[in-house]
Amino acid sequence: MAGEGELNIPGENKREKPGNGTPGNHERSKGRVAEDCIFCQIAAGKIPSEVVYQDDRVVAFKDIRPVAPVHILIIPRKHIPDLTAITPEDGDLIGYIHLVAVKLAREFGLADRGFRVVNNCKEEGGQAVYHLHFHLLGGRQLQILG
C-alpha cells in the first residue's frame, strides 16, 4: 500500500479502550475504539477496505460510494464521534489529517489541478458515520459551494 508510515509528525496519539460509537452516545465514546463503529473496525483491519495510507495516527481509504473520481476518507485511529467532540489536545491530530490530505492529493495528481477536503458534522451537516472523518475529493471540476 502506498505511503505507509511516511508522514510522521511529532506528537502522541493515545488510544483508549472500546466503547459505543453511536450518535446518541458521543461523550461516552470520545477517544475510544468503538466496537460498533465501522470506521474503528476498518482502522483495526477487521473490515477490508482499499487503504491508500496508514500510520499510527490515521488511516486513509477509498470511499465505497465515491462522488468524485478520487474520493478518499481520512480518519483518525482514535475514535472521535464528530468535529464538535474535539478537544484542544486533538488540534495537532486535526492539522495532521490535513497534512495527510495534501500528501494524498499530490500522490493522486490533484494538487496542481485542485481538490476539496470536507467534513460533514452531525445529521444536518450530512454526517452518516459517527467517527470523525474528512473526505478528499478531486479528479474533476467540483461544484462551487455557496
Residue 98 is among the residues annotated as catalytic for this protein? no
Helices (H), 7-137: 26-29, 38-43, 91-107
d(CA 100, CA 41): 20
Catalytic, out of 79, 131, 133, 135:
133
Close Cβ partners of 130 (under 8 Å, ≥ 6 residues apart):
21, 22, 23, 26, 37, 81, 82
Which cell numbers in the block locate residue 143?
461544484
Looking up cell 450518535 gives 23
d(CA 95, CA 75): 12
Q: Which residues of 50-68 are buried (b: 16+ CB within 10 A; e: fewer)?
A: ebbbbbebbbbbebeeeeb
Catalytic residues: 133
